[in-house]
Structure 1
Amino acid sequence: MAESNSKAATDLAELMETTMQNLQSKFQAMSDQIVSRMDEMGTRIDGLEKNVADIMTEAGMEEPQTSK
């Protein structure tokens, strides 16, 4: 009976370790995807800000900005 309990405990521990590794992998993949999308949004926002500044300059609403 003790061997059966020991085997069950070992099996449960292995199952839990595998499950935790799978969860960690999924969490890492989701985290990487979120960071990638945030970077993409930042790039798009930078482009949008530049386009708005260009339009305002063309409309004579703002002096052209010089890059530093």
Structure 2
Amino acid sequence: MDGHDSEDTKQSTADMTAFVQNLLQQMVGFFNSHVFRSWNHSFNRINELEQSINDLRAEMGVEGTPPPASKSGDEPKTPAS
């Protein structure tokens, strides 16, 4: 076995490493663009639905009323400061 085979193996390993790194970067880019775009769309839809609910409540004249008490009779919990 001569030194040339060892250099070929090192070059093959380096090429494969570069290929895998490039592939992972592409996958991360794909994930970021598609998943975050989906999340953003979902959050926008939730905001639109929340606004529609608030608009309907205002039309019905229930704007600013607290939600009905739970059936268990528990007092509403206040957020911790």
Common fold by TM > 0.5: yes
Aligned residue pairs total 63
Residue 45 of structure 1 deviates from its aligned partner by 1.2
Query: Could you report, residue by residue, the CA deviation over 1:19-57 in whole angstroms, capped at 9, with x for unpaired residues?
Result: 110111011101111110111012101111111111101
Runs (5+) with no aligned partner, structure 1: 64-68
Match of residue 20 from structure 1 = 21
- Show structure 1 runs of 4+ deviating over 6 A: none
The one-letter code matched in structure 1 to 2:22 is Q
Runs (5+) with no aligned partner, structure 2: 65-81
- Alpha-carbon distance between aligned partners in 1 of 2:52 and 2:37, rounded to the nearest angstrom: 23
> In structure 2, the residue corresponding to 1:47 is in which secondary structure?
helix
Structure whose residues are more often helix by fraction = 1
Highest RCO, 1 vs 2 (Cα 8 Å, sep ≥ 6): 1
Please, what is the CA RMSD of the aligned residues?
Answer: 1.2
Question: Is residue 4 of structure 1 aligned with residue 5 of structure 2?
Answer: yes
> Which of the pair has more CA radius of gyration?
2
- Alpha-carbon distance between aligned partners in 2 of 1:54 and 1:31, rounded to the nearest angstrom: 34
- Alpha-carbon distance between aligned partners in 1 of 2:63 and 2:32, rounded to the nearest angstrom: 40
